Amino acid sequence: MTQKMITYEYDRITDIKRLKFIASHLQQEIPAGGRVLDVGCGNGVISRHLGQFGYDVLGIDISQKTIDVARSKNTLPNVRFEAISAEALTAQGERYDAVICSEVLEHLDRPGELLKVIYASLKDNGLLVVTVPNGQGPRELCVTRPMLKARNHPAFWKFINKVKSTLGFKGTTVQSQADNLDHVQFFTRKALLDIAKEHNYRIIKFAKTNFVEDVFPFSLLTKRIKFLQKLDCEVAEILPIGLTGGFNTLWKKKV
């Protein structure tokens, strides 16, 4: 029997690394046909990727714009998308074998509230996958935080956007069409451990993402040369975890 070719909608190596992390660990714990909830699914890239492995996937997001994009790209009968909040979905009493919360918590003023909702939606032996940027990592320190501060200076912010446009940076992501993608939380490894414990989870695995490939001016080269992206991800693996650009993590409920 010929093995099905798995495709990737992401182009960046670190994004593909994240997809592989999610899919490989789901395959270890959740059989094909298992029910997966992708919270804050954005354009549905992760949902569609997991659908290729035979999972019954529901991707949800509060942005109708992103859900419209996700639906327009979907061809898998075992993957569907709904513009609904996690709270409203939980009220329906559904429970899932796995929940994906990828690049979501950093955008929330009260991430603990979402973790409570996910707890109610996840089966007792289920798997929660959480990925977030490292709040003290190279990109958050050198790009994200300075850019947030620059917005307070309109003339300077206009100049920055002009330079970014000239250099070919569009300011959009493959992950989501949402209007506001600001980071308001900056998680360290300890902060993740603390919030997990506070909401009755235990983190069973921390994995690294990249190092500096998405930090200007390195990004001018790495966005065009895939080998440098791959090398950067490999460098991240040998550096202390505090220097990683992000955390890929696995969580279990305390029951």
45-91 residue pLDDT tens: 999 999 999 999 999 999 999 999 999 999 999 999 999 999 999 88
Structural domain range at position 31: 13-138+171-253
For the four alpha carbons of 244, 106, 87 and 40, in that order, the dihedral sign comes to: negative
71 to each of 16, 43, 244, how far by Cα in Å? 21, 8, 33
CATH number at residue 127: 3.40.50.150
Inside any domain, residue 206:
yes
What span, in angstroms and rounded, lies between the C-alpha atoms of 142 and 147? 9
pLDDT of residue 164: 62
Inside any domain, residue 153:
no
Query: Which residue did the predictor score with more confidence, 158 or 56?
Result: 56
Inside any domain, residue 27:
yes
Asked if pLDDT for residue 243 goes beyond 60, the answer is: yes
Inside any domain, residue 77:
yes
Asked if pLDDT for residue 2 goes beyond 50, the answer is: no
What value does the mean pLDDT of the chain take? 91
3-state helix vs strand vs coil in the chain, percent to 5: 45, 20, 35
Return the number of other C-beta atoms located less than 10 Å from residue 182's C-beta: 10
